[in-house]
Amino acid sequence: MKISDLLKERETTVSFEVFPPKQWDKIDGTKAVVREMAKSSPDFMSVTYGASGSGAGFTMEIAKEIKDSGIVPLSHLTCLTSTKDKIHSVLEGLKENHIENILALRGDIPKDFDFPDELHFKYAYQLIEEINDVGDFCIGGACYPEMHPESGNRVEDMEHLKEKADCGLSFLTTQMFFDNSIFFDFCERCQIKGINIPIIAGIMPITNANQMKRTLELSNATVPKKFYRIMDHFGDNPESMKQAGIVYAAEQIIDLMANGFSHIHIYTMNHPDVAAEITKMLPCR
Ligand code: FAD
């Protein structure tokens, strides 16, 4: 099923993200994670794609497992470090395996990376155009409520997002955010700019102190004072911190839903128990 249809049909959706392993001997472990998560009946599950492009086979294998578990798969695909030929072979594989949904991304720029030549795409919008030429896929893209770190300012960021959406995106998924007012403001700016496709809110449950540090390094997200107080109070007690992180994420989602934003994507970090506990707390489930 295409995610575009699913978003039209269902007033509320809750989806999960998983990441594939880096080694083949870990693939069965990740497949077990997928099967466990499927028990929470997410509306779809996404699987990330290694920034270097070398793990395409892992992503495909996990996308197939999601499908075999009875859940709609969304396969991520990055373009910066993959040649156009490589991208074509991934798209052929997705077609063969009847995987219809792709999150089309540029990927982060690796350290010491020589900028792409004519064999590569430089931006996500070029990948989106290519996917649309190759087949009948439902394509989503990434967006950044607090602006992409490489964008010069929010006007430029919104300009490029609009161009990307107009290349044939069916939905956008946001980078994680911890303060809903930032997301509300972003959605309003999208509307003003004429970006009218569904925006899925990406929520990251922070369940331990180290994860918080890594997350901030990667995402550049603003953390509300309320969350720092939770960390100060519970950070040294792993069980309490985990519970507090789960409740914070669930409250954030409930507030989004109460404000009319009912398409939610949970960055599960491959923790089925966290995904299940949050899902159980939501009024729609
Ligand atoms: P783009 O949309 O191409 O934008 C990148 C930058 O280029 C932005 O600053 C934009 O403003 C600018 N830009 C765009 N078009 C132009 C133009 N015409 N001229 C000049 N500048 C322009 N990474 C992975 O490696 N694997 C994953 O699986 C993965 N999944 C993700 C899922 C989500 C929901 C999100 C939010 C991010 C994910 N990422 C993933 C990270 C992502 O690859 C990086 O954030 C990357 O730096 C940008 O990707 P993009 O697709 O948003 O790029």
Task: Kindly state the percentage of the chain with pLDDT values over 70.
Answer: 98
| 43: confidence class by pLDDT, cuts 50, 70, 90 | very high
Say how far apart CA 121 and CA 65 lie, in whole Å: 29
Question: At residue 120, does pLDDT exceed 90?
Answer: no
Q: Read off the pLDDT of residues 140-196 as tens digits, 9 standing for 90 and up.
A: 999 999 999 999 999 999 999 999 999 999 999 999 999 999 999 999 999 999 999
Q: Pick from 129, 153, 160, 265 the residue to mutate for probing ligand 1's pocket: most ligand atoms within 8 Å of its CB.
A: 160
Which of 129-138, 175-184, 223-232 has the weakest average pLDDT?
A: 223-232
Say how far apart CA 49 and CA 68 lie, in whole Å: 19
Put simply, whether the predicted model's pTM sits higher than 0.85 gets the answer yes
| Overall average pLDDT of the 210-239 stretch | 88
Question: At residue 51, does pLDDT exceed 80?
Answer: no
Count of positions (residues) in the chain: 285
From ligand 1's centre to the CA of 101, what distance in Å? Answer: 18
Please confirm, yes or no, whether 17 is among the known catalytic residues: yes
* 89: CATH: 3.20.20.220
Q: What is the dihedral of CA 138, 144, 145, 148, to 10 degrees?
A: -150
Question: At residue 117, does pLDDT exceed 80?
Answer: no
Question: At residue 116, does pLDDT exceed 70?
Answer: no
| Overall average pLDDT of the 216-230 stretch | 87
Question: At residue 284, does pLDDT exceed 80?
Answer: no
Question: At residue 53, does pLDDT exceed 90?
Answer: no
| Overall average pLDDT of the 46-61 stretch | 88
199 lines ligand 1 (CB under 6 A): no
147 CA closest ligand 1 atom index: 9
19 CA closest ligand 1 atom index: 28
**What ranges make up the beta strands (E) of the chain?**
13-18, 44-47, 72-78, 101-105, 138-143, 171-174, 199-203, 263-267
Q: At residue 198, what is the residue type?
A: P
173 lines ligand 1 (CB under 6 A): yes
Q: Which of 11, 17, 36, 239 is catalytic?
A: 17
144 CA closest ligand 1 atom index: 36
| 52: confidence class by pLDDT, cuts 50, 70, 90 | confident
SS3 251: helix
The residue assigned the tokens 């594939």 is 20
| 285: confidence class by pLDDT, cuts 50, 70, 90 | low
Q: How many CA atoms lie within 13 A of 202 on its CB side?
A: 22
Q: Read off the pLDDT of residues 74-98 as tens digits, 9 standing for 90 and up.
A: 999 999 988 899 999 999 999 999 9
Q: Regarding predicted confidence, which is higher, 253 or 55?
A: 253
Range of the domain at 93: 3-281
| 210: confidence class by pLDDT, cuts 50, 70, 90 | confident
Say how far apart CA 171 and CA 190 lie, in whole Å: 12
Task: Kindly state the percentage of the chain with pLDDT values over 90.
Answer: 84
Averaged pLDDT score across all residues of the chain: 94
Q: Which residues contact 220 (CB under 8 A, 6 or more apart)?
A: 146, 149
From ligand 1's centre to the CA of 229, what distance in Å? Answer: 32
- Cα 221 from chain centroid (whole Å): 15
265 lines ligand 1 (CB under 6 A): no
Task: Specify the number of domains making up the chain.
Answer: 1
Minimum CA distance residue for ligand 1 atom 39: 107
Say how far apart CA 144 and CA 159 lie, in whole Å: 13
166 lines ligand 1 (CB under 6 A): no
